[in-house]
A and B are shown apart, each in its own frame.
Chain A
Amino acid sequence: MAAEGGKIDPMHQFLVEPLFGKHLIVGGYDISFTNSALFMVITLACLWVFMLGGMKRALVPGRWQAAVEGFTGFVANMMETNIGPKGKAFTPYVFSLFMFILVANLIGMLPLGIVPGWHAFTVTSHLTVTGTLAIISFSIVLVVGFARHGLHFFSLFVPHGTPGYMVPMIFLIELFSFLIRPFSLGLRLFVAMTAGHILLKVLAGFVINGINAGPGIAAIVSIPSFLLMIGITLLELLVCAIQAYVFALLTSLYLNDAINLH
């Protein structure tokens, strides 16, 4: 958070910068280890520890194993409901996607800023990351669709019982709505996380500027803003979980289209 002349810039938290201060440029590409990469590694490490601690395969699960089994059961159940028995092969992918997004969102919400020199970075608040995840999902849908059905996959764009003269128009509309999916999938997660973090940072700016302006203004501006921040933080934790769920749910629905063709 950059405070220059009392103005707090809410966009500074999204700055991707090299971790050790200097750029490492190879062949015209900047491949330095950034704070974004660091938080992705932290996310993976947390996920790894969480999964490893719960994969003891005890007959009577302990608390940790029950937590892991809760998540795996949740995703497996979602795949079973949306795709059916053929969806079982894709459960590991959707589970990885769900857990990565969930943990990355939650780590971005951690108050790491109270440690001097540290800035929490939300990996999923960048379109490069969420867009890549969306493109991976979309590619899997395309590969699975064409591998299982060949050119018959195009019948996805013409619903059953369409009158003959409507086919060209329906085909165009369905094709467009199919091609827009990776954009809407990536954009939804990215914007939801970005908007929440900007909102929190703007309210934090109210709190700090109110305190700086004197005790009278602090009482009427800072205290209500701070209470609102607590509420919004809880809402954001809910949004973290909902967005991870929605991403996994929509991926499973798109996979269902590719596997079962309507």
Chain B
Amino acid sequence: MDPAAAKLIGAGLAAIGVGLAALGVGNVFGSFLESALRNPGAADGQQGRLFIGFAAAELLGLLAFVVAMILLFVA
């Protein structure tokens, strides 16, 4: 296969990872909202943990984005 074409295909495949991280981030906020509506009194105390979970889930998607960018512009 042509190396330039392989690079573009690889970058496209890496973009799938970004979409999967979207599932993770949605899951973090969705679960938080679900339980916050059940017990609104405890919700405010857990916002720090909400954002830690968000940061952890988001980082993995961002890594996939970095892979795509490295394939496109560096490799």
- List the interface of chain A (C-beta within 8 A of B): 11, 78, 81-82, 184, 187-188, 191-192, 194-195, 242, 245-246, 249-250, 253
> Size of chain B's interface in residues, with CB distance under 8 A?
13
Say yes or no: A192 contacts B52, CB within 8 Å.
no
Q: Is B43 an interface residue (CB 8 A)?
A: no
Known: A11-B73, A187-B66, A191-B66. A249 touches B48 (CB 8 A): yes
Contact status A191-B62, CB under 8 Å: yes
B62 touches A195 (CB 8 A): yes
Majority secondary structure, B binding face:
helix
Interface residues of B (CB under 8 A from A): 48, 51-52, 54-55, 58-59, 62-63, 65-66, 69, 73
| B51-A249 in contact (CB<8A) | yes
In angstroms, Cα B58 to Cα A240, docked, is 14
Complex-state Cα separation, A184 to B62, whole angstroms: 10
Across the interface, do A184 and B59 meet the contact criterion of CB distance under 8 Å? yes
B48 and A246 contact, CB distance less than 8 A = no
Known: A11-B73, A195-B65. A188 touches B59 (CB 8 A): yes
Indicate if the CB atoms of A191 and B51 lie closer than 8 Å: no
A-B contact pairs, 29 of them (CB 8 A): A11-B73, A78-B48, A82-B48, A184-B59, A187-B59, A187-B62, A187-B63, A188-B55, A188-B58, A188-B59, A188-B62, A191-B62, A191-B63, A191-B66, A192-B58, A192-B62, A194-B69, A195-B62, A242-B51, A242-B54, A245-B51, A246-B51, A246-B54, A246-B55, A249-B48, A249-B51, A249-B52, A250-B52, A250-B55
User: B52 touching A191 by the CB < 8 A rule?
Assistant: no
Supplied contacts A246-B55, A250-B55, 5 more A-B pairs, CB within 8 Å: A187-B66, A192-B58, A249-B48, A249-B51, A250-B52
Whole-angstrom distance between the alpha carbons of A195 and B61 in the complex? 11
**B52 and A253 contact, CB distance less than 8 A:** yes
B14 to chain A, nearest CB (A): 13
**Considering the chains assembled together, what is the distance between the CA atoms of A192 and B62 in angstroms?**
7
Q: Which residue of B lies closest to A127 (CB)?
A: B66
